[in-house]
Structure 1
Amino acid sequence: MSKPAAAFLKIHYFNAVFLVLLLSHASSQFHGAREQAMLIKLKEYWQNPASISHWILSSNSTNHCSWPELTCINNSVTELKLPDKNITGTIPSLISELRNLASIDLNYNYIMGGFPKTLYNCSKLDYLDLSQNFLVGTIPDDIGTLGQLRYLDLEGNNFSGQVPAAIGSLHELTTLRLVANQFNGSLPHEIGNLSKLEFLELAWNSEFKPSKFPSSFKNLTKLKRLWMSATNLIGEIPGFVADMTALEVLDLSKNTLTGEIPNALFLLKNLEEIHLFENKLFGEIPQVIRASNLTAIDLSENNLTGRIPIDVGKLEKLSSLVLFFNQLSGEIPESIGRISTLTDVRLFNNRFSGTLPQDLGRYSMLERFEVCSNRLTGTLPKYLCSGGKLLGVVAFDNNLTGQLPTSLGNCNSLLMVDVRRNGLNGSIPSGLWTSLNLSMLMISDNMFTGELPRKVSDNLSRLEISNNRFSGEIPVEVKLWRNLTVFYASNNFFNGSIPRELTALPSLSTLLLDRNQLHGSLPSDIISWKSLRTLNLSKNQLSGQIPEAIGFLPSLNQLDLSGNQLSGQIPSQLGLLRCTDFNLSSNHLTGNIPKEFENGAYSNSFLNNPGLCASTANVKLHICGSQRNSNLSYPRNLIWISSIAVFVLCLLVSFFVTKFCWKSNCVLDSTWEIITFQNVTFTEKDILLGLKDKKNKIGAGGSGEVYRVDISGHGDFVAVKWIRNKKYPERELEKEFHAEVRTLSRIKHLNIVKLICCMSSEDSKLLVYEYMENDCLYLWLNKHRTSGIVLDWPKRLRIAVGAAQGLCYMHHDCSPPIIHRDVKSSNILLDSEFNAKIADFGLAKMLIKQGKPATISAVAGSFGYIAPEYAKTRRIDEKIDVYSFGVILLELTTGRKPNRGDEHRSLAEWAQHYYEGGNPISDVLDEDVKEDCHLNQMRNVFKLGLYCTRTLPSLRPSMRTVLQILLRNGPPPDYQSKNAEKEYDMAHLALCNDIVYSV
């Protein structure tokens, strides 16, 4: 070829390459501009969330690749990362125009609708995270179209139905997470086809049909994590689980598994964690353990027997040994104390005997130590807090002896010490009293000696030292114990007088100083005890008069001053108290008792006070003036005769008026059928006459009007709900009437309003309830907006506890359980002492089978209280009541209305958003009741409200747990019986696990 020709060809070659590059660049520019425009449309479709406001159209076609939410390769989007960006709406089809998209992360948003089938067009998609959203419906049967997926996370949505068999055709999957949905089919055996699977999480789908462990799972030989808590597993743990040799974490907790634990399970070399708690497993723990990588063993709440295997002491990486609530026995192996990684030991409620391993805490940073309710003897290990990380010592109900370890005196990490009911002795290590974080010191029922210290921890809120041998005086420095709420010091040897400084504790709710050697008079300046509920100073040597100020303590409902040398008259102000327990017996009191106590409820409250008298025979005292001159009998008889004459005259007048009025009202002239559920002292006419006076009307709702009716003419009131049928009886009202009668007639609880009887006629239906003097909670929460009257925090907490007790009874103690469906502050009624009672069961529905949700044809309830899954799916279970109760807790703590957290959101939605934004809780607490002494309680109850109003029902607590948490915030039950004491201890333990250690 000639040189000119070669040169010519070379020029054309470079021109061609240049042209190709030019066209490629132009195509890239066009593609980039197209993707950028599509992303702007996507932002607009999601209503321009502020979190991606920086997505702005640019003349630079590749500018979008600099946005932090995107990853690009060759200027084309391959990853879309938008977690927790407040995105609402559905996933639009235009997202599939990102042709090279391989990864989508949209977790923790507000995305709704069904599974987005538009993603089928993303042929390169291998990573999809749609967790913690509001997706509903079923997973489509053609999900196998996404054949390239390696990672699929649909946790925390509302998917239901069957997990499709097609899930087994996603052969590239290494991670499958379907946790916390509402699947109600069978466990999907097809998952066994996913041979590359490493992480399988199906937990918290308790509506799965009862199933045995799927045999196909034996094919998952690469599986590292298997999490199937609360998936309704039954039967035995199959032996082939031991063939899953790659397994690192096995969690089958909260199922109904039975049988023994397979021996081979503890031979898995790679196993790091095993969680089998809350099943019905029996037999012994396998004695040979070769899973040398084990870091956590949790076999609690089963029926396991036998001993702790010696091999446990050889697990050099073990950090958590949790075996509580079993029937394990024998001694705890000494070798456990030498595991250098051990931080968590929970062995309570078993039958362990012998001594505790004395090296516990010596070689490891021990944090949790709970061995209560066993048969242990000997001393507590002296090195428990050597690592400086110990949070609690819980060892009550054993036979321990000796002194508390001196190391506890230098343990500033401690939150609580509970060693009640042992045989411990000696003095308390001086540093323990002042331990920086100590909140609870409970050492009752031992043989401790010494005097009370001058200074205690600033965080000490609960001090229980009853039934010991403490002596000396109560120091005047007690005024510095500012956070003390509970002080039990009964049956010791304290002497001297009760210092006035003790009245300076504003948060004190319970004070027990009975059975000591205290003398002198009672402090008169006790008006600051605003929160005091229980005061017991009995069986001392107190003298002088009872201070009038006691009558002005707003929360006091238990007062015992018996067995002292008190004298003088009983102040009339004590009649202001609403005490359930009241005892002034065995003193030197004189004069008349306050008229408020002249009834049978207080018949034994004044015994052995010869100088006391009463004006009636309802109490065991002589009648005032009965010893006087009998010449006074004539005028007294005259008075009686006159009174009887007036009474007869009133009856005659009443008879004629009643007869006239009765015939003048067609409704009252109807024929009535009455069904009584309590002993009644009134007649149909007594009720019907009260409905005639419109002044008696005290409320109205969707199902009828409510009247206050005086059934005796002397202030004995009942509440009557009047449901009047129109020309054609409404089916819904008829349903509500029968639902309420059916529900209330069969349940009886102190915190559920009492249905006395029901009355029916052709035109009307009447429900007669006990009358609640203080109306409803809603009224009190809104009073301060109009009248300035404020419901203080102690009352609010008491109301929350009462309402929780009522709901807890309905959910856990009724068979079948009862779902209220309309829990709200206007349905929590308050009696004269502000005790809460659940009312209005017109919407209540009894579950046909406990634990199985029912469906309804229409959503009922009140806006702001309705659980999101109830509004969407119309499925009901106990968790919808828990959600509504959580809204009430948020009302109580913030003072806001349920449907107005702010101008855009309900209270529950606003509170969740506010808290997740890292904002301080104290800033949103109700200013009208917020005081320093109540801040911690209010914060805890606010958090509990958030806990109850979580979007996913499975993440909400049960009402039993809610009640336990509230009892932790408020005063515990008084120890009037061993059962009550034990119930509180168990609740206390649960709270140690859930709350105290998370501080």
Structure 2
Amino acid sequence: MSRTLPFLRTLLSVYLFYFVSTPFCVSSLTAKTDQAILLELKDQWGNPPSLHLWNSSSSPCDWPDIVCRDGTVTGISLRDKNITGKIPIVICDLQNLTELDFSWNYIPGEFPEALFNCSKLKYLDLSGNYFAGSIPHDIDRLQTLEYMDLSANNFSGDFPAALGRLPALRTLNIYRTQCNGTLPAEIGNLSNLETLSLAYNTLLVPSPIPQEFRKLKKLKYMWIKKSNLIGEIPEGLSDLLSLEHLDLSSNNLVGSVPTRLFSLQNLSNLYLYQNQLSGEIPKSIQASNLLNLDLSANNLRGTIPEDFEKLKKLQVLNLYENHLSGEIPGNLGLIPTLKGFRIFNNSITGDLPQELGLHSNLEALEVSMNKLSGSLPEHLCKNGVLQGVVAFSNNLRGELPRGLGNCRTLRTIQLSNNNFSGELPPGLWTTFNLSSIMLDGNSFSGKLPDILSWNLSRLTINNNKFWGQIPQNVSAWKNLVVFEASNNQLSGRFPEGLTRLPHLTTLMLSGNQLSGQLPSTIGSWESLNTLNLSRNELSGNIPAAFGFLPSLLYLDLSGNNFSGEIPPEIGQLRLASLNLSSNQLSGKIPDEYENTAYERSFLNNPKLCTTTDALDLPNCNSRQRDLKDHSSKYLSLLLALIVTFLVIAILWIFILYRSYCKKEERCHPDAWKLTSFQRLEFTEANILSNLTETNLIGSGGSGKVYCIDINHAGYYVAVKRIWSNKKLDQKLEKEFQAEVQILGSIRHSNIVKLLCCVWNENSRLLVYEYMQNQSLDKWLHKEKKRLRAATMDFVEQYVLDWPRRLQIAIGAAQGLSYMHHDCSPPIIHRDVKSSNILLDHEFHAKIADFGLAKMLVRQGEAYTMSAIAGSFGYIAPEYVYTTKVNEKIDVYSFGVVLLELTTGREPNCGDEHTSLAEWAWQQYSEGKPIADALDEEIRNPRNLEEMITLFKLGLICTSTLPEIRPSMKEVLQILRQCRPPEDCNGRKNAGEFDAVPLLGTSL
């Protein structure tokens, strides 16, 4: 017995050790196995830098992007990690893997078959990659999936019926792909589905939507935006009793709004904007949980329903841009949660509900372009969160509510073209965040304040009854950009403080009673482009300092009492408009304005004269002119003799030079030299021997362009030859030096590569990399013209599709952004156009032809050119009359290229006086649908929104005023954002592209 007890104790100890220690051993072994699997995964991806913390010396549970539970790996989140390889099959060796996020990488290939071995997978996000092919028809093998996002890929084909055989699925996102076909009826079997997002496909949805959808009792979010859905809203959607979010916006929907939609008790967000819905808004509203209702930009008629008062949780009500009439229900002001109320551009009549803002945190009231009467509600800013009141173009009257004067959150007030009167609330002028006051066309009165809000940048009060002097301390209005107070009753001397506003671009004080002389010095008007002081009582001389305003384009001093001569410095301005009529000016007008473009600029100045017959003014001195004519004859004779002598002398020197060169081989024009900028595989002999007409591919103002196959080995270069068999030309020499200086010193993937230059005394050869697809101009315009002239059937292979056009726009923008922002000094191209954007074999864009480019001396300093260069249709308007060169002229030209890419039109698409930019602005200003202006050969619902974005960007870039145009860095940023929408984990959803309008967009 004594021997047995120690043995039992030992055996018991072994069992206890085994059972206690086994879980730890298993956990350690599993962790090691998971570590090995993940390291193998990293190795098969080529060890990307983003996974550098994955190593063999630490546990996977300590690595970023790895989720563990009970010591084993259950989740991998590698969002936006620059992964470029396919998903290896080893990934499903992780036995407990339930969550997998590979979104926003560069993973290629078809849907990864490896994932079918992940038997416990619940969460799968593959969005934002380069997956292609069809979605597997056996996708239902992933039986445990609850969340699947395949959006923003290149999947194509049908939506497989197997999607409806994923019983646990709650969220299904497949927006922004190339899938087509119809919705499979089996999706109606997904009884747990809460979110369905199929936006931005070529989805063909029959009308009505399949009856099986009525089985989706837990559906919270259904999204079919931008899906070629044409037809009426299916009544069957009203059976989705658990529906919380419905977005059918921008789908060309017709018909009426189904009444039963407003009976869904769980519905919180209803977006039907930008369709073609007609009829009336349903009168019966039972969806008491609605938070956001947007029916804007349709063809709805009738009145605003009284039942909206029942929506006690409503935050945003957007009904703008319809054909609504009648009065606003008074009980709308009783909704306690209302933040945004937008009904602009309708035909609404009657008074605004006086309860607005009293019971809710109202932030935005936009009711412009209606037929409203009465006064503004008194309590709009009672709760202190109001940001804007936009009510222009109505019949509103009375004084402004006193409460607006104490509204510190107010950013803009736009009340132009109404019947308001009285003085403004005292505190309104100094409201802390106020940036714009627009009150034109009313009967407001009172004096202008000594102090304005620090943030105020726009003050327009034309056509009112403001009186008194402009405050002497007006220089304190530091951030003012636009000041317009024409046709008021302002009096007193012109304050010198106005000339010390550094950001002022527009100053309009015409039609007042200002008197005295203008200041002789101009302090800070570096940005001023418009100055209108007409119809006042100003006197004295016109200040010579006006001639040194660098940005001035419009000058109107007519209808005053100015006297003396017009300062010759005024002639230095390149004005688009000049009016000095009806003054007491005398003497000769500046030479620069002696042409018919200014024939109405000097009327009713009896003492002014001119030396030409172009203007209807007296001749300055006819006798002196006759004497000058006689002198000119003798001078001409003398000049002729001098020129004859010089010609003889030059010919004699030339003969001597030729004789000398025959004896000296170094003078021979065939003594070629080569200067290389890259490592070359050829010599000048390879180039010179191939400059034949058979290799000629183009010609321009400065020479010819050849395509040469070096040694007939398939290695092509492009050669630009300048001045063949010509004497030295100074202009062309400058072009040559500019191009060599720029291209020889910069390196960028979107700028054409200069390999070398070959030169002798008579010719210059620039050797570039050869761009196989030649110019963008060829693909957009020339090739289509040639093919259409040759055959009635247009060959589609010569049409640039939209993805390539977008790629070209981004590439060209990258090149220009590099030139403007990353080169020191910055480089201005001066001749950006589609024929100077070359395309390689993969249609990557590169900027070419720098013969007109100039480097700026310092960043932001304009460089004045002695002559205007560029191409019609691409030239910025200010460049024509100022010849001031800065980055904004390239931005304008690039904007024209964007309009070419989106419309397919040529830059001079109108007559000889009309450019593409002018045509596009006219289309936009007339309110025509932008979609009608787009290139119909590539326009389709899948890319329509991107095309509209680039069209609008082209409009902004071609703004008449340079300061409004964005920089190329900002343009590039916008272009890069033309990518698939973001998801709910930090990126925008597709449905948020058309969010509620920014304050003031009703302008």
Is the TM-score greater than 0.5?
A: yes
**Separation in 2 of the partners of 1:392 and 1:171?**
48
Deviation at 1:436, TM superposition (A): 0.6
**Separation in 2 of the partners of 1:739 and 1:939?**
25
Q: Secondary structure at the match of 1:236?
A: coil
Deviation at 1:604, TM superposition (A): 1.1
Deviation at 1:277, TM superposition (A): 0.2
Q: Give the letter aligned to residue 394 of structure 2.
A: N
Instruction: Give CA deviations for 1:586-611 in whole Å, capped at 9, x if unaligned.
Output: 11111111111122211111111111
1:207-606 paired onto structure 2 within 5 Å: 207-209=202-204, 212=207, 214-215=209-210, 216-606=212-602
Counterpart selection for 1:806 from 861, 880, 896: 896
Q: Give the letter aligned to residue 439 of structure 2.
A: I
Counterpart selection for 1:851 from 925, 940, 944: 940
Q: Give the letter aligned to residue 319 of structure 1.
A: Q
**Separation in 2 of the partners of 1:284 and 1:564?**
57
Instruction: Give CA deviations for 1:175-229 in whole Å, capped at 9, x if unaligned.
Output: 11123344455555543342321111122x1544576453243332321111222
Aligned to 2:873: none
**Separation in 1 of the partners of 2:860 and 2:320?**
53
Q: Secondary structure at the match of 1:424?
A: strand
Q: Give the letter aligned to residue 806 of structure 1.
A: V
Aligned to 1:37: 36
What percent of counterpart residues are identical? 41
Q: Secondary structure at the match of 1:235?
A: coil
Q: Give the letter aligned to residue 483 of structure 2.
A: F
Counterpart selection for 1:950 from 977, 981, 990: 977
Q: Give the letter aligned to residue 209 of structure 2.
A: P
**Separation in 1 of the partners of 2:479 and 2:137?**
60
**Separation in 1 of the partners of 2:77 and 2:626?**
99
Aligned to 2:114: 118
**Separation in 1 of the partners of 2:226 and 2:249?**
7
**Separation in 2 of the partners of 1:756 and 1:172?**
53
Instruction: Give CA deviations for 1:901-959 in whole Å, capped at 9, x if unaligned.
Output: xxxxxxxxxxxxxxxxxxxxxxxxxxxxxxxxx9xx99999666533312615689xxx
Q: Secondary structure at the match of 1:568?
A: strand
Counterpart selection for 2:141 from 127, 142, 145: 145
Deviation at 1:139, TM superposition (A): 3.1
Aligned to 2:999: 992
**Separation in 1 of the partners of 2:904 and 2:504?**
39
Aligned to 2:630: 635
Instruction: Give CA deviations for 1:484-513 in whole Å, capped at 9, x if unaligned.
Output: 111111111111111111111111011111
**Separation in 2 of the partners of 1:881 and 1:646?**
61
Structure with the larger RCO, 1 or 2 (CA within 8 Å, 6+ apart)? 2
**Separation in 1 of the partners of 2:113 and 2:150?**
14
Equivalenced residues, count: 814
**Comparing 153-162 with 303-312, which one deviates more in the overlay?**
153-162
Whether the 8 Å CA contact 1:816–1:847 is kept in 2: the answer is: no
Whether the 8 Å CA contact 1:494–1:516 is kept in 2: the answer is: yes
Change (3 A) 1:787 1:247: closer
Whether the 8 Å CA contact 2:830–2:852 is kept in 1: the answer is: no
Residue ranges of structure 2 left out of the alignment (5+ in a row):
652-690, 701-721, 744-750, 755-764, 789-828, 836-848, 866-877, 910-916, 918-933, 984-993
**Separation in 1 of the partners of 2:956 and 2:134?**
30
**Separation in 2 of the partners of 1:796 and 1:382?**
49
Whether the 8 Å CA contact 1:851–1:877 is kept in 2: the answer is: no
Instruction: Give CA deviations for 1:6-27 in whole Å, capped at 9, x if unaligned.
Output: 9999998996786566666544
Residue ranges of structure 1 left out of the alignment (5+ in a row):
657-665, 676-686, 706-721, 758-771, 821-827, 829-844, 855-874, 894-933, 957-986
Change (3 A) 1:739 1:319: closer
**Separation in 1 of the partners of 2:955 and 2:142?**
40
Q: Secondary structure at the match of 1:476?
A: coil
**Separation in 2 of the partners of 1:774 and 1:58?**
59
Q: Give the letter aligned to residue 39 of structure 2.
A: I
Deviation at 1:482, TM superposition (A): 0.9
Deviation at 1:477, TM superposition (A): 1.7
**Separation in 2 of the partners of 1:384 and 1:301?**
26
Whether the 8 Å CA contact 1:344–1:367 is kept in 2: the answer is: yes
**Separation in 2 of the partners of 1:614 and 1:744?**
50
Q: Secondary structure at the match of 1:282?
A: coil
1:731-880 paired onto structure 2 within 5 Å: 732-733=773-774, 737=778, 739-741=780-782, 775=852, 779-780=854-855, 784=858, 798-799=888-889, 802-803=892-893, 806=896, 809-810=899-900, 814=903, 848-851=937-940, 878=947
Deviation at 1:582, TM superposition (A): 1.1
**Separation in 1 of the partners of 2:939 and 2:906?**
6
Aligned to 2:170: 174
Counterpart selection for 1:93 from 89, 95, 103: 89
**Separation in 2 of the partners of 1:363 and 1:538?**
48
Change (3 A) 1:704 1:625: farther
Q: Give the letter aligned to residue 940 of structure 2.
A: G
Q: Secondary structure at the match of 2:253?
A: strand
Deviation at 1:331, TM superposition (A): 0.4
TM-score scaled by structure 2? 0.70
Whether the 8 Å CA contact 2:830–2:890 is kept in 1: the answer is: no
TM-score scaled by structure 1? 0.71
**Separation in 2 of the partners of 1:590 and 1:562?**
14
Change (3 A) 1:954 1:74: closer
Instruction: Give CA deviations for 1:446-474 in whole Å, capped at 9, x if unaligned.
Output: 10001110001111011111110001111
**Separation in 1 of the partners of 2:297 and 2:1002?**
19
Change (3 A) 1:790 1:611: closer
**Separation in 2 of the partners of 1:312 and 1:91?**
52
Q: Give the letter aligned to residue 232 of structure 1.
A: N
